[in-house]
């Protein structure tokens, strides 16, 4: 039903819903709604009052609900509306909190990744700059079995390989290498 904006008198509202003015007064007396009053004590029905009255008339005339039932339904509807508002508020706050937590998590992960990259870079630099200090390195040349005569120069490849392997073992086996750690 199309209505004009503003306030309505009881006679206009009664015509809107095809009910007697006394019926509307009874609904008011039962506390189902409370329209404002003018300075002359005339009832002024707002849009909200008209909507509420429409709901009351639907429940009583169309569905056959008694006034006590209408009162309970309207109270429950009001309570449900408040609970819905609270739920919406809680959901909104939870969503904001989740978004903030997600942003904090992203920042923490970014900081941790950056710190790991710094540690990696530091370790790579340490490894590259690590100098090997060879102290007390002694080579026992008496164990060196290389000869310079011609017969030894004509050895087969496998003999040479074995000889090099033995020479390497004997030459480097006695080395002591100490590393300095930069930590």
pLDDT at 160: 47
Give yes or no for residue 158 having a pLDDT over 60.
no
pLDDT in tens, 26-69: 999 999 999 999 999 999 999 999 999 999 999 999 999 999 99
Six-digit token pair at 76?
């429950």
pLDDT at 128: 84
State the angle between helix axes of 10-17 and 47-57 in degrees (0 to 180), rounded to the nearest 10: 40
> Rounded distance, CA 148 to CA 101, Å?
78
pLDDT in tens, 91-147: 999 999 999 999 999 999 999 999 999 999 998 888 888 765 555 545 555 544 555
pLDDT at 140: 56
| Buried-state track 112-142, b at ≥16 Cβ within 10 A, e below 16 | eeeeeeeeeeeeeeeeeeeeeeeeeeeeeee
Specify which residues 44 forms β-bridges with: 36
The domain 10-65 is placed in CATH, from the list 3.20.20.150, 3.30.1490.20, 3.10.20.30, 1.10.1660.10, at: 1.10.1660.10
Q: Three-state secondary structure along the chain?
A: CCCCCCCECHHHHHHHHCCCHHHHHHHHHCCCCCCEECCCCCEEECHHHHHHHHHHHHHHHHCCCCHHHHHHHHHHHHHHHHHHHHHHHHHHHHHHHHHHHHHHHHHHHHHHHHHHHHHHHHHHHHHHHCCCCCCCCCCCHHHCCCCCCHHHHCCCHHHHHHHHHHHHHHHHCCCCCCCCCCC
Q: Does the predicted model carry a pTM greater than 0.95?
A: no
Taking the CB of residue 153, how many other CB atoms lie within 10 A of it?
9
């Amino acid at each position: 039903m199309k209505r004009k904006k503003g306030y309505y008198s009881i006679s206009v509202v009664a015509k809107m819903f095809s009910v007697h003015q006394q019926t509307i007064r009874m609904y008011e007396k039962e506390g189902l709604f409370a329209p404002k009053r003018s300075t002359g004590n005339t009832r002024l029905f707002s849009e909200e009052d008209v909507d509420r009255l429409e709901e009351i008339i639907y429940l009583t005339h169309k569905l056959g609900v008694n006034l006590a039932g209408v009162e309970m339904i309207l109270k429950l509807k009001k309570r449900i509306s408040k609970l819905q508002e609270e739920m919406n508020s809680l959901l909104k706050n939870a969503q904001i909190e989740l978004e903030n937590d997600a942003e904090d998590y992203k920042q923490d992960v970014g900081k941790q990744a950056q710190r790991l990259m710094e540690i990696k870079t530091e370790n790579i630099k340490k490894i590259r700059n690590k100098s090997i200090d060879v102290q007390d390195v002694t080579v026992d040349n008496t164990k060196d079995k290389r000869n310079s005569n011609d017969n030894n120069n004509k050895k087969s490849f496998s003999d040479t390989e074995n000889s090099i392997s033995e020479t390497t073992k004997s030459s480097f086996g006695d080395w002591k290498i100490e590393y300095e750690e930069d930590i």
